[in-house]
Structure 1
Amino acid sequence: MLSEFIKRQKAKSDLNKCFMNADLYKIYKNSSGRQFFSYPKIQAVVFKEDLIQYTFTLLNGMDPKEVLKREYVFKQSFGPNIELEGDYKRFILTIYKKTMPKELIYKQEEIIRNISQHSLGIICGQNRFGEYVTFDLLKQPHILIAGETGSGKSTQLRSILTSLIALKKPHELELYLGDCKKSEFHIFRKVEHVKCVLSNVKDIADMLQHIKQELDERSDLTEVFEVSHVDDLPEEHKRPYIVVCIDEFVMLRKNEDVMEILTELVAIGRTLGVFAVLSMQRPNAKVLDTTIRANLTVSMGFKLRDMIEARIVNTPGAHEIEHSGRFIMNSDQLYELQAPYLTLENAKKLLSPFMVVKEAKEVKNDSEDGSELSNHLLEEDVFIDAIDEA
C-alpha cells in the first residue's frame, strides 16, 4: 500500500516538473512576499500494464490552447509515445510504454480474420497495443488517403484492395480502378473482381459516367421498391457492392464533369452500395472542397509536407510522422497506426487465385439527347508484355 502511494506521488511530481518546464503554472505571494507555484490540479493517476494515464484540470484563467501548443514539452518529459487530449479545462495525458513496430508485415490470414466481422471490411493497421484497427465501409463510407512519395500510401492502397478481393466473391464486389500515375494498379488487371484499370483521364471520365448511370439505376430501384438501402432490395434485383478507387485523383480536377460525379458519389453512394477510395500526394483545398471532404468519412494521413496539408486532410500531426507506413487516421476518433506492408511480389502471389482470362467489353453510355458517349474498355484481355511480366 505504501509503495503504491509512493509510486503515485512520484508520478505526480514528474508531471508537476513537466508543468514547470512548460510554463503551465501561476505564481502567488503570501503576506510576507514569499512566492508559491500553483500547477494544474492532478485529479487522478491510473497505472496499467501498458500505460500511465493522468487526468488534470487547468486553473481558472489558464488558456487551454497553451497546453496543446506545449505538447512538445510533454514529449520531451515522457517520450514521444504520448497522447494529450482535452477541452477548455479538463485534460487526459496518456503515456504509453509500448511503441509501434517500424514495419508491419502483411499477414493475410490475420487480416481476413479481423475484417470478416464486417460486411465490407477495411484493414487500417495496428495500434501501439498490437491490435488491428478495422472498419466497415458500409458504416463509414468513402476513404481519403494522402501522403508523400515513400510514405506508405501506395502500400496501403494495395493492402486494402487485396484484402477486399480475398474477402468478397466477384458477384458480391466490383472494383473500378483509376491509376492516374500509371504505376500502382496494373497487378489487379486480370483479377475477376476488377472491371477496369484505367490511366487515361478521358477513359477514367467515361468510367465515372458509367458509375453515374449505375447510381441512377440503383436510386430508381430503391424508390420503386420503397427501401432505404440496396441491401434491402428483392433478391432478383440485388446489386454487388462497387468500390471506385482513384490514385492521384487531383489530376482529374480540371474536368468539371468528373468532379461533379465524384461529389455525387460520395454524397449518395453509401445507401446505393457504391463507395470511393481517393488518394493524393499533395492535398489541395481547391480539389478537396467542403462538399467532398464532408462526405469522406475516413481520412488516412501518412507523412505530409506541412501543417496546412495535415489540416486539409483532417489528420493533425501527419506532418510530424517520421516512419514509413505510419499514419494518422481520422474516423470516429483519431488513431495513430502502422499500416501493413505488402510488397508487390507478395501481392501478386495472393492475387493469383483470383486471376482470369478476360474478354474485351465495351460499356456504352447514352447522353440525354441519345448520342453515344465515348466507349471505353471495362475489361481487357490484351496487355503489354512488360506489364504482364511486372
Structure 2
Amino acid sequence: MPPVLPMLAKSVAAVPTTGGYSFEPKWDGFRCLVFRDGDEVELASRNTKPLTRYFPEVVAAILDQLPPRCVLDGELFVSVGDRLEFEVLQERIHPAASRITMLSESTPASFVAFDLLALGDESYVDRPFSERRAALEAALADLPPSGPCHLTRTTTDPDEAEQWFRQFEGAGLDGVVAKPLSAVYAPNQRTMLKIKHARTADVVVAGYRLHKNSTESSPLLGSLLLGLYDGSGEDAQLQHVGVSASFTAKRRAELIEELAPLVVPIEEHPWGRWSEFLTANPDRVPGTQSRWSQGKDLSFVPLRPDRVLEVGYDHMEGRRFRHTAQFKRWRPDRDPTSCGYDQLEEPVSYDLGEVLG
C-alpha cells in the first residue's frame, strides 16, 4: 500500500563492464509507482505525492492493460513525434480539471514499467532483480506494442548498453541505468547506477539572482543566469539557456564582489526589451512569471554580457539546459559573441519506437 519510496540511483562516469548488471534506458519523465487493486488505481511520484488526477488516460490504460493486482515502478512520459518531451509533460501538472482533460487528449502520456514490487498476493521487494524482471516480463507479456503501457527493454551486455547510451539520446532519453541482478528492491536506497551524458559549453554570464539567505549588508549570489547567442552579426540575440547555482557561501559572497563592475541598468541590457512582461514568454526570459513560479521572486541583477564561463551540462531540453549547469571555470580568452548554439553537440536522431520495441 502507498506510500512507498522508490529505489534510487547514484551517478557513475561510465557503463560498468563487470559486476553482474542489467542495463536499461534512463527515461526522461516523472518517476511513478503504480498501485492497482481491481478498479482502484493510484499513481505516486518519487516523493510519494499523488499524480493520479493529472493523468486520467494513464489510469484508464492501467485498468485496461496491467494485471488486476500489482505494484509497479516506472516512468510517465509524453512523446511528440519520435522524441520524449519533458516540458510538455510538465504542463500536465495543472490545477484546472478542464485543462487536464484537454491535455490528456492532445498530448497523452504513457507509462513504461521497469520494476515489480508486488503481483497478486506476492511481494517481490525482497527478491533479486533477476527474479523480479522475469516475473514482470511474464506479467506484461500481452501488452500491445502501441502502448500506452510499455515494458522497458533490458540487456546484460555492457557493449549493447554502451551503444544504447550513444544512440537513444536522439529519442530524448537521459542515459542508461544499471541494476545489480542480485539486489533486492531497496526503497529510498541508491542501489542502482545511472550513467548520464556529460558535456561542456562556453556561455555568457548575463545576470544573477540573489540567494534566499542574502541580506542588504551581506549579499550572496544565488544563481548565475546564462546565455547563448542565436544568429550571427548584428542580428544575433542573446537567449536565456539556464542557470548555474551550486556554490559555497564563501564563493557566493566573492562572486557578488567579482561581478559588481558588470552591473548595468536593465534598459542597457539585451534582455531589457522583455522587462515589461509579467507572464511567461517563448524564450523563458528571467524575471517573467509562469504558473510554476507564481509567488517567487524572479527579479535578477542584469550584468553587461562581457564574461564567458565554461559550464558542464548533461543535455538540452529544446533550447535550454535540461538541468542546472555546473560551474567549471572562467574563459577570459573567449569573445562573448562567439558563444552560440553551434558549439553544442547534436545527438544522433533516433526513433522512440525503436527504444520501446
Q: TM-score range by the shorter chain?
A: under 0.3
* TM-score, length of structure 2 as denominator length: 0.25
Per residue, is there more helix in 1 or in 2? 1
Structure with the bigger RCO (C-alpha within 8 Å, sep 6+) is 2
Structure index of larger Rg: 1
Per residue, is there more strand in 1 or in 2? 2
